[in-house]
Structure 1
Amino acid sequence: MTEAIQVAPAPYKRIATEEAFCPPEMLDRYRRLIEAKTVPEIGFNSMWGFYLDADSPRCRFIRDHLGDLGEARLAHMDQAGIDMAVLALTSPGVQVMPAGEGTSFAAQANDWLADAVARHPNRFAGLAACAPQDAVAAAKEIERGVNRLGLKGVIINSHVQQQYMDDTKFWPVFEAAEALDVPIYLHPATPTNRLIEPMLERGLDGAIFGFSVETGLHALRLIVAGVFDRFPELQVVLGHVGESLPFTLYRLDYMHAASVASGRYTAMGPLKRKVSDYMKENFLYTNSGVAWEPAIRFLQETIGVDRVMYAMDYPYQYKPEEVTALDGMKIGAVAKKAFFEDNARRVFKLAG
């Protein structure tokens, strides 16, 4: 996947905050779901139907390293200069499984992750998986993951069997996260069937474009539905420089106010704050997959230095030279340490 370079030490710890894993048996379960044709999601069947068996170096690298929470992953972290990884169950996690199976497997995955963290407590931290298909059970698993297993937040791999979590039936998940004072990482999934077809026709359904469209849509639905008026302390993390939403804050504010004033949409009512206020106060951001100084600087300047964190997006993106490039960003020492280390320690309550 990458040349064997070694990234130099830095005057801060580098904490990568969107790093994927899965127990090896999860990929076996995906294969069975695809073979049985029980998941009616075009994106899931297309993406994992390809990645499970394709023989390209990229596909083999991803399969080989998703299930490794030992020496190979640690060696890659060392090569890239990554001191700690915040691990989360890869997309779509358990959210394509039937509710009972998803609830059961989320618990297994959380136990497996907690064991890896216990073996390498200075290198790994983890986010709790859950199955929002059964939101009450999901809330209980979040509480168990945080209080009993020591996990540091929640991973939600976007839509839940083509339903978005602005539906109040999913809100026990938000209630649990807010009560436990842990963030939810809203990670992409392949777009729903209603979104994906014109993207898939040109290979734009994945990380190149479709993931951000789908997850940005989800985030906006949460805001417009009033999730953060109901749960004002809830914190949600968006990767990939905020799925591009922060770059249109002005227009989001203007057109939301204009749409409410027009009275066109019964599903869009007034909110307590502007859209940009929620984006600045209830969302945190990582640069996962976007090792690009202009975008990171924009987020720091527009959203705030205290809300932007580093992520690599391993094993889907593993390029140690990107770490060196970000070390060289022309930002102040305090802002750079906040980006690589301090914000992650605060947000995920990581020991210093």
Structure 2
Amino acid sequence: MNEHDGNKRWSYRGCACGGCESTLSLSGAALSRRQFVAGLAGAATVAAAGLGHPQNAMAQTAGAKPYRIDVHHHLSPPSYIAASVGANFGDGLMRGWTPEKSLADMDQAGIAVAMLSVTQPGVNFTSGEAARKLVRECNEYAAKLIADHPGRFGSFAMLPLTDVDGSLKEISYALDTLKLDGIGLLTNYHDKWLGDPAFLPVMEELNRRKVVVYTHPATADCCVNLVRTEPPGMIEWGTDTTRTIGDIIFSGNAQKFRDIRWIFSHAGGTMPFLIERFVRQPLLDPKSKAAVPEGTLAELTRFYYDTAQTANKAAMSALTAVIPTSQIVFGTDFPYRTGIDHVKGLRNSGVFTEAQIMEIERGNALKLLPRLGA
């Protein structure tokens, strides 16, 4: 049985042969000593911040010192906007982004720090030296924003992942020279997901450095314009996040590269809804067993998941039925959504205590990125 820090737990029962009827159930969990102590610590944090009541928490956005950390916040460097115009992709929100718009939204929502990343398609629309050049320019622009606005921004660096040599060079430059906070990857690169053997040298280096890796969904080549009435952002991006989570786990990469700290967007996509299939996969395919010696849940509950565009009762209820609150981080998807949408959404969902919301909005991100607490 696998217990989590939240108020629920999944339990799996069944024989390992895969031929017997197996069940996956959701049941109430007793409060452990560790949970009780964590709850006291969270309550103390809330009290110290004067946020013991939801109305106080909302009032915090109106003038008190901001404290929230947004791990899913997009920037559009000038060179990236120019490239999108030249290649005929992108939309008005992406092309119209400015640092001032980000800061205004952050101030309204009480966000102290936004972790910047370029949205999809990243550099999937180009390749070779052009991709390397654009990645470098975007990473340098992000570093300049961090320097120009002390304490307000961090950044996940772009990589041209299909170019392994270029990616290894950019990891070194972005982390050692620019001092960026982690790496941002798309969920797929031309129908290669993040467990693909082609990316092993990059994963080895990220693991060696114990890097925080933020992922963002992208439209896979296989799945463009599948249904006339459904743009990719409606269904495909959530599904692609789920695909890459599954590929990282069942390729063996989650076991092999234990020191990569993964953040997945949008509450893990459809993973919480498909949890029974994830857990049963090693029973149905014996080849998968080696990738999850402690079970699929042991891997899923090590990852982090953001709240971007999922700060609602349905999504958060599903996520917290599988993942402990300690693994959830605040994300807004700005400029596609606002910070205040998510501040209100988390509270209105009725899923979390105020102490848990404080951990989601700040504490959990600081475990990954302690620099942001300075």
Q: SS where residue 289 of structure 1 aligns?
A: coil
Q: CA deviation at 1:136?
A: 2.6
Q: Among 91, 95, 104, which residue is 1:63 paired with?
A: 95
What is the match of residue 205 of structure 1?
232
Q: For the Cα contact (< 8 Å) 2:312–2:348, is it kept in 1?
A: no
TM-score of the superposition, structure 2-length normalised? 0.77
Q: For the Cα contact (< 8 Å) 1:8–1:81, is it kept in 2?
A: no
How many pairs were matched up? Answer: 311
What is the match of residue 198 of structure 2?
169
2 CA distance for matches of 1:165 and 1:72? 32
What is the match of residue 353 of structure 2?
332
1 CA distance for matches of 2:347 and 2:189? 37
Which residue identity does 1:342 align to in structure 2? G
What is the match of residue 222 of structure 1?
248
Q: CA deviation at 1:219?
A: 1.9
Q: Deviations over 1:5-24 (max 9, x none)?
A: xx631697111110011212
1 CA distance for matches of 2:175 and 2:325? 27
Which residue identity does 1:280 align to in structure 2? T
Q: SS where residue 333 of structure 2 aligns?
A: coil
Q: For the Cα contact (< 8 Å) 2:309–2:342, is it kept in 1?
A: no
What is the match of residue 55 of structure 1?
none
Q: Deviations over 1:221-255 (max 9, x none)?
A: 12111112221222211111111202332321113
Q: Among 98, 115, 118, which residue is 2:144 paired with?
A: 115
Q: SS where residue 198 of structure 1 aligns?
A: coil
Q: Among 62, 71, 76, which residue is 1:22 paired with?
A: 76
Q: For the Cα contact (< 8 Å) 2:308–2:342, is it kept in 1?
A: no
1 CA distance for matches of 2:346 and 2:255? 36
What is the match of residue 196 of structure 1?
224
Q: Among 94, 97, 102, which residue is 1:73 paired with?
A: 102
Q: Deviations over 1:237-277 (max 9, x none)?
A: 111111120233232111332122xx7xxxx5632332222
2 CA distance for matches of 1:163 and 1:76? 35
Q: Among 254, 262, 273, which residue is 2:294 paired with?
A: 273
Q: CA deviation at 1:149?
A: 1.5
2 CA distance for matches of 1:77 and 1:309? 16
RMSD in angstroms over aligned alpha carbons?
2.2
Q: SS where residue 83 of structure 1 aligns?
A: strand
What is the match of residue 316 of structure 1?
336
Tell me: CA distance 1:309–1:169, structure 2 relative to 1, closer, same or farther (3 Å): same
What is the match of residue 137 of structure 1?
166
2 CA distance for matches of 1:175 and 1:144? 17
What is the match of residue 343 of structure 1?
364
Q: For the Cα contact (< 8 Å) 2:161–2:189, is it kept in 1?
A: yes
2 CA distance for matches of 1:280 and 1:142? 27
What is the match of residue 306 of structure 2?
286
2 CA distance for matches of 1:123 and 1:21? 13
Q: Which runs of 5+ in 2 are unaligned?
A: 1-57
2 CA distance for matches of 1:90 and 1:351? 22
What is the match of residue 40 of structure 1?
none
Q: Deviations over 1:120-178 (max 9, x none)?
A: 12111111111112113212211221222221111112211332232222122212222
Q: For the Cα contact (< 8 Å) 1:249–1:275, is it kept in 2?
A: no
Which residue identity does 2:268 align to in structure 1? G
Q: SS where residue 247 of structure 1 aligns?
A: coil
Q: For the Cα contact (< 8 Å) 2:305–2:329, is it kept in 1?
A: yes
What is the match of residue 237 of structure 1?
263
Q: Among 188, 206, 216, which residue is 1:187 paired with?
A: 216
Q: SS where residue 79 of structure 1 aligns?
A: helix
Which residue identity does 2:311 align to in structure 1? A
Q: For the Cα contact (< 8 Å) 1:96–1:161, is it kept in 2?
A: no
Q: For the Cα contact (< 8 Å) 1:20–1:314, is it kept in 2?
A: yes
Q: Based on CA coordinates, which of the two structures has the bigger radius of gyration? A: 2
1 CA distance for matches of 2:191 and 2:274? 25
1 CA distance for matches of 2:339 and 2:180? 27
2 CA distance for matches of 1:230 and 1:153? 19
TM-score of the superposition, structure 1-length normalised? 0.81
Q: CA deviation at 1:329?
A: 5.4
| Identity fraction in percent | 23
Tell me: CA distance 1:210–1:111, structure 2 relative to 1, closer, same or farther (3 Å): same
